[in-house]
Amino acid sequence: MYNIYTLKNGLRVVTEYIDHVNSISVGVMVQNGSRNEELELNGISHFIEHMFFKGTEKRTSKEIVQQIENVGGQINAYTSKEATCYYIKALNTHLDLSIEILADMILNSKFDDEEIEKEQGVVIEEINMSEDTPEDVLDNDSSKAIFGENSLSYPILGTIENIKSFNSKKIKKFVKSHYAPHNSVVSVCGKFDEKELMKMLEENFGSWKGEGDYKPEYKSPILISQSKYTNKPIEQLHINLAFKGLPYAHEKAYSLVLLNNVFGGGASSILFQNVREELGLCYTIYSYGQPYLGTGINNIYTGVSKQSADKALDVINKELKKFADKGISNELLEINKEKIKASYILGLESTSSRMFSNAKSMLLQNKIKTQEEVIKRINNINSDDINYVLDTCFKPGIISSAYVGQDIEYEKLNQIIEPDIKAYDNSNKDGIKRM
């Protein structure tokens, strides 16, 4: 059972009561991520996420985690392109402690210069670790290739140069302007007493005040047709091919999920069967969507040997064109409805996953998608929906590419897919910029 209400200061709250569990998941999600940053501040949202764990007026950094772990709970956080979330999962008997600690972190963090200096070293090492991970480098390169100078291309971790420039003054200013009740949501899922919960939230978060009326506004970026390459001394060539997707919460979103599942979503998918099983060109290959507010992209990822790259790209490109033209049968449509319903339901088996889902839906849409509503939308997918997504997303073909590997002639590889890119209508009405 869901309940939605707003505290006096404008902080939205969404709760979901589950009687058969004895756990509780509490999260504070803020509509602020790397997409909200200026270039010179890129990385500050993620750095601030770290700093919220580095001590408050009441607790040291050790006490913040220790008090939750001492009762068997888990405390963590993450930063994405469009949101940051701080969360705790614990036994429901420790709901009051969970809420109090999250509020203490959000409202009373000190952002001490000494702690900032120490954490700069930690985050720089995190960036170094990411730079040593080909998939991470590829993901950043792919974003830069297709989004260009738009803030969606900015890496979540930021740059080492930027990290070194952050100080207490910059951080406090950013938090004051970007962390506010009206662009945040508290999400609670599990077993609790609703009246007691409302009282706890008002007592702990009621004093939260933001500065001004900051509301994130994003311009829909033009998708750019270009390629990025990073030379790294590794065995495999990692490839990402990007094509059109759909924005977050688009009415045809589940139709796209279904088509991605058929095309590259599992071991029975077209890409897996044709590129790996039949030809043995790779170990891993899949397609996936990245929906954002106002825009979205799809990606095809694989890792291959340098010698197999041209053959793999040729097969992928041909299979994409064939899939876009032929679509899927009614039988395959019904089978994959069941697959994505199962995936959706199984993905919401824990209180934490449901808490995240409710928080994101409330934060970005200001409403909750119930399980019944989602299942109904999946059941209602028809051939018209499928054809719309095929025409909109798959038929335009590959827009941009990114490669990570050693001594790769990526310009030659691009020639395999560039004919489709060049075939785009140059009027730019499709929201794609040719380089």
* Exposure on the CB side of residue 39, measured as CA atoms within 13 A: 5
Cα-Cα-Cα-Cα torsion 103, 108, 109, 113, nearest 10 degrees, comes to 180
Query: Rounded to an integer, what distance in angstroms lies between the CA atom of residue 287 and that of residue 277?
Result: 16
CA dist 414 to 72, 227, 279, 408, Å?
52, 8, 21, 11
Query: Rounded to an integer, what distance in angstroms lies between the CA atom of residue 395 and that of residue 263?
Result: 13
Q: Which residues pair with 86 in a beta bridge?
A: 28, 77
Phi/psi of residue 251, each to 5°? -65, -20
Query: Rounded to an integer, what distance in angstroms lies between the CA atom of residue 118 and that of residue 328?
Result: 54
Question: Rounded to 5 degrees, what angle do the CA atoms 371, 375, 376 make?
Answer: 115
Cα-Cα-Cα-Cα torsion 157, 159, 164, 167, nearest 10 degrees, comes to -50
* Residues 148 and 221 sit within 8 Å (Cβ to Cβ): yes
Query: Rounded to an integer, what distance in angstroms lies between the CA atom of residue 320 and that of residue 285?
Result: 13
Nearest to 49 by CA among 92, 96, 9, 87: 87
Which of 16, 49, 82, 319 is catalytic? The answer is 49
Query: Rounded to an integer, what distance in angstroms lies between the CA atom of residue 391 and that of residue 141?
Result: 27
DSSP state of 56: B
Query: Rounded to an integer, what distance in angstroms lies between the CA atom of residue 251 and that of residue 263?
Result: 20
* Residues 302 and 312 sit within 8 Å (Cβ to Cβ): yes
Question: Which long-range contacts link 61-65 to residues 24+ away (Cβ below 8 Å)?
Answer: 61/115, 64/101, 64/104, 64/105
Query: Rounded to an integer, what distance in angstroms lies between the CA atom of residue 92 and that of residue 196?
Result: 12
Residue 49 annotated in active site: yes
DSSP state of 391: I
Neighbouring CB atoms inside 10 A of 357's CB total 21
Tokens of 58: 């009441």
Phi/psi of residue 135, each to 5°? -65, -35
Tokens of 431: 């929201």
Active site residues: 49
